[in-house]
Amino acid sequence: MLATPYPAGPLHFRHRLGSWDLAEGPRVVGILNVTPDSFSDGGKYLSPEDALAKAFAMAEEGADAIDVGGQSTRPRGPASLGAGAEWDRIAPVIQLLAARLPEMPVSVDTYWGEVARRALGEGAAMVNDVSGLGVDPAIADAVAASEAGLVLMHSVGAPDRFHDRREYADVTAEVRDFLSARLEQAVAAGVPRDRIALDPGVGFSKRAEQSVEALRGLPLLTALGRPLYIGVSRKSFLGALTGESVDRRMAAGLGATVAAFALGGRIFRTHDVRETRDTLRAARAILDDTVDPASLMAPEEVSRESRARAPMADQPVPERRS
């Protein structure tokens, strides 16, 4: 069994295009920042065509959803965009993805209710609110009206003071209490519990050691009974742990992903979709003894294993090369 199994019963996360049964395995959400200034990929996907090409690439790599963001929340980043400017930045991308990738759930990364409402009107399937309803509680109303999914993240000081130095008596307990309260707030606004996931907010309102503590505390958060949504990809706490620059943090991020999965994480937001999927496939094969490892093998691996076990007489004769 996993080191810290979820509460009894399978967990589902519903969004407008379907439902994820997380007992069947973790899900991977690809990051698509259409910003000039995000800490890792700022400026790479400003045009709708470049953004669409990146989305197609992540879909090919096995993304379960695409998370579109138009506002950088990096440390020492720019002042918050208003809702109007943020919508103008992401609208062409949301519309293009809905038209060209209609079966791919699109998540909008915003803390403005107006942006969420418009994105959902264009076909987005879920909203990722990094303020946990702290900036604009109207996000919950928009999600409830559209039957979308909602991710609530722990952070303090939104929108312009996400990264101020904070002190906690107990990081895990305070994150749990915050998320519990925001979960009940969303439910009171009409969002069903099975449409809500919770994010401990690694790197937000937390120094590196506090982010590590928040991840260690994931088992306490599973008691809230909702899927845990984890974003560690390329973040600064990994740089603090390893001394590596943003473009050299993938290995550390994949290590943190394995640890988070073992401790209860089930939805992972990442810049590196293929690598994260492969990492989670291997981690699940080893950590979850309720699953037959053979059922997790990729089709080409199953075929290769079958050929290896076949009698020599049944093996194809290699073509001789001149």
Rounded CA-CA distance 124/300 in Å is: 33
| Active-site position among 14, 27, 269, 277 | 269
Contacts of 125 (CB under 8 A, 6+ apart): 15, 16, 17, 65, 105, 106, 107, 148, 149
| Active-site position among 235, 266, 277, 284 | 235
The kind and range of the H/E element at 263 are none
Q: Which two tokens stand for residue 67?
A: 């998370």
User: In the annotation, is 54 catalytic?
Assistant: no
Long-range Cβ contact pairs of 186-191 (< 8 A, separation 24 or more): 186/133, 186/140, 186/143, 186/150, 186/152, 189/137, 189/140, 189/141, 189/144, 190/140, 190/141, 190/144, 190/145, 191/140, 191/143, 191/144, 191/150
User: In the annotation, is 44 catalytic?
Assistant: no
Sign (positive or negative) of CA dihedral 288, 294, 295, 301:
positive
Give the closest residue to 17 by CA, choosing from 112, 132, 95, 107. 107
| Enzyme catalytic residues | 235, 269
